[in-house]
Amino acid sequence: MSSYTVAIVGAGPAGYFAAQALQNLQSDELSFSIDIIERLPTPWGLVRSGVAPDHPKIKTVAKVFEKIATAGNVRLFANVELGKDLSIEDLKARYDAVVIATGTSQGRTLGIPGEDLPGSMSAANFVPWYNAHPDFKDESVDLSTSTAVVIGAGNVAMDVARMLALEPSELDLTDTAEHAIDALKASAVRTVIISARRGAEHAAFTSPELRELPKLEHTNVIIEKKDIDSALARVGENIEKDVKSNLEAMALIAEQVPAGHERTMKFQFLATPKEIRGTGKVEEIVFTKTGTEEEFSIKCGLVITAIGYEAIPLAGIPYKNGKVVNTDGRVEENLYVVGWAKRGPSGVIGTNKSDSSDVMKLLVEDLKEPKPHTDIADLLSGATVVSQGHWEAINAAEVAAGEAKGKPRVKSVAREELLLLGKL
């Protein structure tokens, strides 16, 4: 029987699925002790701080994470930061293998003039703000404008636009951060424009997300029929299945008669952002009609860019083009990468299951003689470590606080508050 130690850095979906893959690869001859190291005091990554709060079904995958976490060979070291409390070299020296699962948390930028004005922000800040991520609780989100523009035609842009255009009382029974519910209730935003630089046939939305939009009870959703007709004309007969399904979903929206609600979410296509203008804050955004010199502008006080993410580099790990340099998840000796840090920011949560599983098979192929087991506890004397037990106390307290209000949970936003809930 060979027993190996593996450190997984990052307690998000890719990290848990890597642990699960290792559990599944165990046999009479092979076993693993897995330590999951997480910078935040709470695990679950994007399932906690990315998935839109009005999509609670997507979050049920957390039950799978907890099953993996409590299977007997996994320990959680949350509130422990690589680069501060521990180095990658510490981990590589002590564990048989180290798996980076830290995602891509920084928003890509447009690189246009005015992008730094107050009122212009990235979805990479807005999404964790409404999801009670401790690092974004004090984010300044100016909702005093009547019109907001969201740049990008992916599911993150759609989440952001929906959150801005929903009747905020629809969030009362969700786990949206309480500060965000208050701000959204006071919001002056009534029109949200989702802006795509290419035609509808190239939109990166997925059709289930488009198909749920007509079900919004208090928001007009507007797509111009001419935009779908011209997209259909451009794609012609040999239309891909996903594109067909997307265009059908958009055509259904285009056929709807606007319901006369106070709030509107509107799609625009073939609009390339050129400049954000304003004196001291965002006042308008200028576009060109894609492929032409023709300019037009939209008066607005808020621009949110949702155009993809890149990794924030960690010391001692090679990065290029916003991700960790790797070949099929192998980085260098006993160092591996999974998830968005490996392949870039694409795919849904479930995509990480097969991806992590493929990389863990390679990790097992590469294993040599097990190293003598050593603990990392001696390195962490200065850190307040949140263990699985502490996290379970935090989780139970949040769920109990939610029960009283009919919500799945009430998230605590401050690190100190989370540590107190964990009885630390």
According to CB under 6 A, which one of 80, 101, 192, 307 is a site residue for ligand NAP? 307
Backbone angles phi, psi at 327, to 5 degrees: -120, 110
Determine the Cα–Cα distance for residues 53 and 174; give it in Å rounded to an integer.
Answer: 6
Residue 34: left (phi > 0), alpha (psi -120 to 50), or beta?
beta
One-letter amino acid for residue 28 of the chain: D
Task: Kindly indicate which of the ranges 156-164, 258-266, 327-335, 375-383 contains the residues binding ligand NAP, using the contact rule CB under 6 A.
Answer: 156-164
According to CB under 6 A, which one of 13, 278, 308, 339 is a site residue for ligand NAP? 308
> Residue 275, interface with ligand NAP (CB under 6 A)?
no
Minimum distance from residue 206 beta carbon to ligand NAP (Å): 6
Determine the Cα–Cα distance for residues 408 and 51; give it in Å rounded to an integer.
Answer: 14
Angle between helices 123-130 and 178-185 in degrees, nearest 10: 110
Determine the Cα–Cα distance for residues 210 and 381; give it in Å rounded to an integer.
Answer: 49
According to CB under 6 A, which one of 155, 207, 245, 384 is a site residue for ligand NAP? 155
Nearer to ligand NAP, 25 or 204 (CB): 204
**Binding mask 338-357 vs ligand NAP (x if CB under 6 A, - otherwise)?**
-------xxxx---------
The answer to whether the beta carbons of residues 368 and 380 sit under 8 Å apart is no
Determine the Cα–Cα distance for residues 424 and 418; give it in Å rounded to an integer.
Answer: 9
Determine the Cα–Cα distance for residues 323 and 312; give it in Å rounded to an integer.
Answer: 9
Nearer to ligand NAP, 103 or 119 (CB): 103
One-letter amino acid for residue 237 of the chain: E
Hey, CA dihedral for 174, 175, 178, 180, is it positive or negative?
negative
> Residue 300, interface with ligand NAP (CB under 6 A)?
no
According to CB under 6 A, which one of 153, 221, 338, 413 is a site residue for ligand NAP? 153
> Residue 156, interface with ligand NAP (CB under 6 A)?
yes
Minimum distance from residue 347 beta carbon to ligand NAP (Å): 5
Q: Which of residues 72-111 bind ligand NAP (CB under 6 A)?
A: 110
Task: Kindly indicate which of the ranges 92-100, 140-148, 200-208, 218-226 contains the residues binding ligand NAP, using the contact rule CB under 6 A.
Answer: 200-208
Q: Show Cβ contacts of residue 177 under 8 Å, excluding neighbours closer than 6 positions.
A: 129, 130, 131, 132, 137, 411, 413
Which tokens belong to 415? 């690190």
Task: Kindly indicate which of the ranges 15-23, 150-158, 218-226, 326-334 contains the residues binding ligand NAP, using the contact rule CB under 6 A.
Answer: 150-158
Residue nearest to ligand NAP (CB): 154
Instruction: Measure the N-to-C terminal CA separation of the chain; round to a whole number of Å.
Output: 37
Query: Which stretches of the chain bind ligand NAP, using CB under 6 A?
Result: 110, 151-157, 159, 196-198, 202, 204, 206, 209, 273, 306-308, 345-348
